Chains A and B, each alone.
Chain A
Amino acid sequence: MATLKQIRRRLTSVRSTQKITRAMKLVAAAKLRRAQENMLRALPYAARLRRMIWDLSQHTDRAMHPLLQVREKEKVLLLVITSDRGLCGAFNSNINRRAERFLRNREEGHREAELALIGRKGRDYFRRRNHPIFQEYMEVLSAPTMDRVSEIGAQVAARFLDGGHDAVYMVYNEFKSAISQRVVVERLLPIEPEWSEEQQQAEQALEGLEFAFEPSPEAVLSAVLPLYVNVRLYFAVLESLAAEMGARMTAMESATKNAGEMIQRLTLQYNKARQASITKEMLEIVSGAEALR
């Protein structure tokens, strides 16, 4: 049985751990709000751009731009977005496991795959496993800006265009809500013009309309498409950040709860031990007095 002193020491330590986890939860909650705001701000831009690409793809020849062309998949790039810090539950291991599965099963029917890593946790994981790494992009997540992400986008797109990669996928945590994340794998390149149901309906009303492009359809396409790649990448980073904060909040919340339970148990144990020692002392005194009589 643990001595009173030992129990007391453990109690103090669990209490201070609880203080830390509670503080981390609050910090994560505040950061989550900021990350969500960032996402909301970027959302209309991404949506508009997607719509514009759809309109463009309807009125131009698909073969016109190399970023739209689907090629035989010899070598692909997988962009893995993890977090820089831990203590966020299964957030990173889910991503790393999913990426590993993608590589092992050659999910896209590719022959070779390289990795591009955003976030320290993914880098550490894949470095240890000696997977071929194309690029590591650190110092992105601490302050994600469109400029910084655009540099990554430009580099990835350039490699795609010179034939180094035949397709680019990204795996990241999609932000479903503050308490739930979903790992998704999406194709970044070649670009697939997307449209929603309602856009399609709007489109039908406009059928037969001729669009004018200035300076030329080609010029507009080659300006829009790289931008779209950057915006999608930027949005994935923002989503992953929001998801990370959500995951950390949940993890720290349950850590705080667990610490609370442990404190209760230890307090009970402490009181019992204390009572036992008092009883023991009492018995000793009483029996001592008895013996003197």
Chain B
Amino acid sequence: MTIEVVTQDGAKVKDLAVDEVTLPGVLGELSILPGHKPMIIALGIGPMVLRGPFGERWFSLSGGFVEVLGDQVRVLSETCEAAEEVDGDRAKAHLEEVTTRMASMHPGMGEAWKAAEASLKKAETRLRVAATRSASTLH
């Protein structure tokens, strides 16, 4: 099974052979194994994990879709950052900033609240993804 990840900034992963893909679906995390039936699924914010002969690779993903067709997995996302690309310090600063901002907000604020929630989730995901990098360097 091969995977391709495309964002507005171009292809982030190109025809990489994988054994398993874990993605953040809007209805919850989902894992795709070879031989999956065809589907198109909307994606939320969260980590994407690729497992294969190369081991495990983590990415921070936000929004978009995945199309599974035959042995092809095609991900279309707004943003996709590999663990190596994530700036951990910046993500941490961003998380703190969003948290303080949200302290003075409440869910009744509609769009603004939703946007803040999304940035919170993005920051958390990026931190989580960045953490996998430091874990692997420890080994």
Contact = CB atoms under 8 A, between A and B. Distances in A.
A45 B7 contact: yes
Contact of A41 (B9, B25, B26, B65): B9
A68 interface: no
B38 A214 contact: no
B10 A44 contact: yes
B101 interface: no
Contacts of B65: 52, 220, 223-224
Contacts of B11: 44
Given A56-B40, A223-B65, A214 B25 contact: yes
A213 B10 contact: no
A128 B41 CA distance: 49
Interface size class of B (residues with CB under 8 A): 20 to 34
Contacts of B30: 214
A209 B38 contact: yes
A219 B42 contact: yes
B37 A212 contact: yes
Interface in A22-64: 40-42, 44-45, 48-49, 52, 55-56
A223 B42 contact: yes
Contacts of B6: 44-45, 48
Contact of A211 (B9, B25, B39): B39
Size category, A interface:
20 to 34
A183 interface: no
A45 B8 contact: yes
B67 interface: yes
Contact of A206 (B7, B38, B41): B38
B74 interface: yes
Contacts of A40: 10
Interface in A202-224: 206, 209-215, 219-220, 223-224
29 contacts: A40-B10, A41-B9, A41-B10, A42-B8, A42-B10, A44-B6, A44-B10, A45-B10, A48-B6, A48-B76, A52-B74, A55-B40, A55-B67, A209-B37, A210-B38, A211-B38, A212-B38, A213-B40, A213-B41, A214-B25, A214-B26, A214-B27, A214-B30, A214-B42, A215-B26, A215-B27, A215-B42, A220-B41, A220-B42
Interface of A: 40-42, 44-45, 48-49, 52, 55-56, 146, 206, 209-215, 219-220, 223-224, 231, 234
Would you list the 9 A-B pairs with minimal beta carbon distance, nearest first?
Answer: A212-B39, A41-B10, A214-B41, A44-B6, A211-B38, A48-B6, A45-B8, A45-B6, A48-B76
